[in-house]
Amino acid sequence: DAGVIQSPRHEVTEMGQEVTLRCKPISGHNSLFWYRQTMMRGLELLIYFNNNVPIDDSGMPEDRFSAKMPNASFSTLKIQPSEPRDSAVYFCASTRDFYTDTQYFGPGTRLTVL
């Protein structure tokens, strides 16, 4: 079975540019989570969806960040405009049932904003 798929795996961009990260959850999973990982702050939950509906976006750091889940098999995390402090590894995770907890992580996107 294919796991969580993220693209791109690496992204290098310049400050002020728009960045879009993509995620395809495991087929049949109905909850999706976006995390950010940095050395200073560890793993931070940014936002999560259940049945394509955003449930909690309290972790989104600023209005520059937005996320969508137009259907059960695709989600995007957008940063516009990007800043150097957004440099991090962004992970997507999915779970079959929101209430049974086990989250499966993708390989991550390493974002570098120059």
Partner 1 sequence: GENVEQHPSTLSVQEGDSAVIKCTYSDSASNYFPWYKQELGKGPQLIIDIRSNVGEKKDQRIAVTLNKTAKHFSLHITETQPEDSAVYFCAASSTSGTYKYIFGTGTRLKVLA
Provide, rounded to whole angstroms, the least separation between the CB of residue 9 and partner 1: 9
Q: Is 91 in the site for partner 1 (CB under 8 A)?
A: yes
CA angle 96, 76, 17 (to 5 degrees): 155
Which one of residues 34, 60, 82, 108 is an interface residue with partner 1 (CB under 8 A)? 108
Q: Is 43 in the site for partner 1 (CB under 8 A)?
A: yes
> Among the candidate windows 17-25, 60-68, 74-82, 103-111, which touches partner 1 by CB under 8 A?
103-111
- Tokens 């997507």: give the residue: 92
Whether residue 107 contacts residue 38, with contact meaning beta carbons closer than 8 Å, is answered with no
Q: Is 1 in the site for partner 1 (CB under 8 A)?
A: no
DSSP summary character for residue 58: T
Helix, coil or strand: residue 34: strand
Q: Is 48 in the site for partner 1 (CB under 8 A)?
A: yes
Whole-angstrom distance, CA of residue 24 vs CA of residue 67: 13
Whole-angstrom distance, CA of residue 109 vs CA of residue 87: 10
Nearer to partner 1, 57 or 81 (CB): 57
**Which residues of this protein are in contact with partner 1, per CB under 8 A?**
4, 42-43, 45, 48, 56, 91, 93, 98-108
